[in-house]
Amino acid sequence: LTVPPAQHTLTPHANHHHANHLFCFAFSQLRTLPVVGGLLEDQFDTTVKMSTYLVAFIVCDFLSISKNTQHGVKISVYAVPEKIDQAQFALDAAVRLLDFYDDYFDIPYPLPKQDLAAIPDFQSGAMENWGLTTYRETALFFDPHKSSASDKLGITMVIAHELAHQWFGNLVTMQWWNDLWLNEGFAKFMEFVSVNITNPELEVEDYFMGKCFEAMEVDCLSSSHPVSTPVENPAQIQEMFDDVSYDKGACILHMLREFLTPEEFKSGIVRYLKKYSYQNTVNTHLWESLTTEQHAEEELDVRAMMETWTLQEGFPLITVEVKGREVRLSQERYLKGEDPSQTSGFLWHVPLTYVDSNSATVHRFLLKTKTDVLYLPEEVDWIKFNVDMSGYYIVHYEGSGWDDLITLLKHNHTALSSNDRASLINNVFQLVSVGKLELDKALDLSLYLSRETKSVPVTQGLSELVPLYKLMEKRDMEALENQMKSYIVHLFRELIDRQTWTDDGSVSERMLRSYLLLFACVRGHPPCISTATQLFKKWKESDGNMRSGNYTKNCTLRNYFLNDNFYIFIIWKTPTPAYELPPHVGDWGSIPALGDWLHLTLHWPNQCNHYKQILNISLSSLVRILVIAPALSGWVTPRVMLISTRLRL
């Protein structure tokens, strides 16, 4: 891993015993010849110039299905024989996506074929080996009779990510691991760009903002690191594979794209890929490719702007104060739970966007100093910065700014986009967490949610409100905890009662349904409990084969985990379809049977194909839930060696 990702060519030969054994490699097989000792030798074509970490081969007895793209590239999906019939969706998705990237980047895919291999037990989610991408089975298999819309979304996004790497990472490779984000941030960003075009029905634009919020949760801590940071040893390199490299990298690219315009941004990255094909790059090469003569005339220095986002950790809090036509702006680092003095010394070139009560036009302003002033053509009733949360920053409104926006949401919330509404919800609670606002202000804003119907703001509202009662629960503040639970149920009761327990509608509608039903059942909402009881009974009678959306199924199982966890364990420990992994227990909150579930997970039978994935998923999902972290720590500590041994199986 510490070897620089330099470019080389390879001409592999592979010897094997049995004619039915497949030796899969990135390039086309030229011939198979008998050699000494009764062996067969597969000879392959010489590769293009490529980085050695992208070389992969597979020896297997898989079956495959194939299809050609419009550009003549053969795409194949390899899988174990008994599951090859679940590979068709992945094959069709890969064909559409490779054709999209061929056209979007204006650079033909350089290899004669692209293979996707489903590995029965695979520690990584997927790997972008050039011409032979590898995946967990869960990331490729789709059963039309049992899989859900969320499965379809997940499969498509993973394939989009790995195929984007065939250009960003494979055709052009970062010079050293400090710029890993040039690979991973771009691939994450292109997931959303590509799938939004190839599969508009999946509505992926609804989920991008959530990725940025997730990155901010890590990036607002003093332990964060710059997107591009010096690394020297394997441990430091491994640490770079995190939300900062992936999600923050994608978010700052999205911010730049929206500020430059999508057309200018696309032209710049095409220039970058064409100029540096089969070469190693650093981030300055990208910024230079995105800079045009027009930018020089406008005094826009793309490199200077973006290096403030890649070479320092964190992100800015923009404070806005409106006085008549004058808008006073200031910036500081947003830092959670630390000494405020640690926010000094940071300065970003912030590409601000805003709309106001007088115009739906998106206005732009580049804030390059600690403070600045912009002037409006006329006075406004309200102003909202960071349009659609396209920028990687949060905003605080001083004076009457928050009250003006709360009034707008109360009387005409659709005057703002659903992304704008969700970003206001996020920002107001983030400001409460660092003492910039009182909780009353955030709760005043949340009152409008009783009329909200869109998935993004509703789920954001739940994600901000639910941790409040969990915090009260942890601190034994029972009266306040019950008040908060009642308040949240009251806000969403009408929307909850309108939900059906089906797996139909758009992807956003299904995801909204799943969040609401899971919340309602965990809170003991009687209609939800009644329906869950009936569905769980039917699910048991079907031996776990009843079709339902993944989140709906988790909601049902959550209610019966305590009383029927042994039955659920028996269902999942037997050979199951790849997509039937255990639910993320941590997503259910505080569970009395936590110890039982962890014991069952740790003692999963070795012969289960997905054992390591199951243990990894169960433990990692639990770690994310702060309220049960002490219980998890107490359970894990005396079992560290056993867990380590099991994960090395």
**Ranges for all domains in the chain classified under CATH 2.60.40.1910:** 322-451
To which residue do tokens 């027009």 refer?
Answer: 294
What pLDDT is attached to residue 177? 86
CA atoms within 13 A on the CB side of 468: 23
Spell out the SS3 assignment of 322-357: EECCEEEEEEEECCCCCCHHHHCCCCCCEEEEEEEC
336-358 pLDDT tens trace: 976 666 777 899 999 999 999 99
What pLDDT is attached to residue 581? 41
* C-alpha closest to that of 456 among 404, 493, 397, 506: 506
What pLDDT is attached to residue 486? 87
Instruction: Determine contact, residues 133/151, Cβ cutoff 8 Å.
Output: no
What pLDDT is attached to residue 96? 98
What pLDDT is attached to residue 533? 80
Annotation: binding site for Zn(2+):
161, 165, 184
Told to judge if 162 belongs to the known catalytic residues of this protein, a careful annotator would answer yes
List Cβ<8 Å contacts ≥24 apart for 299-305: 300/366, 302/256, 302/260, 304/349, 305/256, 305/349, 305/351, 305/366, 305/368
CA atoms within 13 A on the CB side of 517: 30
87-122 pLDDT tens trace: 999 999 999 999 999 999 999 999 989 999 999 877
Q: Which of 128, 162, 191, 464 is catalytic?
A: 162
Q: Is residue 162 helix, strand or coil?
A: helix
What pLDDT is attached to residue 318? 98
Q: Does the domain spanning 322-451 belong to CATH 1.10.3720.10?
A: no
> What CA–CA distance (Å, rounded) separates 500 from 513?
8
Which tokens go with 308? 């403030």
Task: Give 567's contacts (C-beta < 8 A, 6+ positions apart).
Answer: 540
Mean pLDDT in consecutive groups of 10 residues from the start of the chain, 649 residues: 48 55 62 69 72 80 94 95 96 98 96 92 84 92 86 94 95 89 93 96 90 94 90 81 89 95 95 95 93 74 95 97 97 84 85 95 95 97 97 97 98 97 98 95 97 93 89 84 88 90 80 84 82 77 58 53 45 43 42 56 57 60 52 68 66
Q: Give first-to-last CA distance, the chain, whole Å.
A: 22
What pLDDT is attached to residue 377? 95
Instruction: Determine contact, residues 11/46, Cβ cutoff 8 Å.
Output: yes
AA identity, residue 117: A
- CATH class belonging to 174-312: mainly alpha
What pLDDT is attached to residue 592? 46
What pLDDT is attached to residue 17? 55
Strand 74-79 versus strand 113-119 pairing type: parallel
* C-alpha closest to that of 396 among 407, 383, 409, 408: 383
> What CA–CA distance (Å, rounded) separates 535 from 546?
9
Which tokens go with 436? 């910039």
**Ranges for all domains in the chain classified under CATH 1.10.390.10:** 174-312
Annotation: binding site:
161, 165, 184
Q: In Å, what is the CA distance from 610 to each residue of 492, 495, 577, 616, 642?
A: 37, 37, 10, 10, 18
CA atoms within 13 A on the CB side of 341: 0
What pLDDT is attached to residue 109? 95
Task: Give 560's contacts (C-beta < 8 A, 6+ positions apart).
Answer: 532, 536, 568
> What CA–CA distance (Å, rounded) separates 356 from 338?
34
Global pTM reads: 0.83
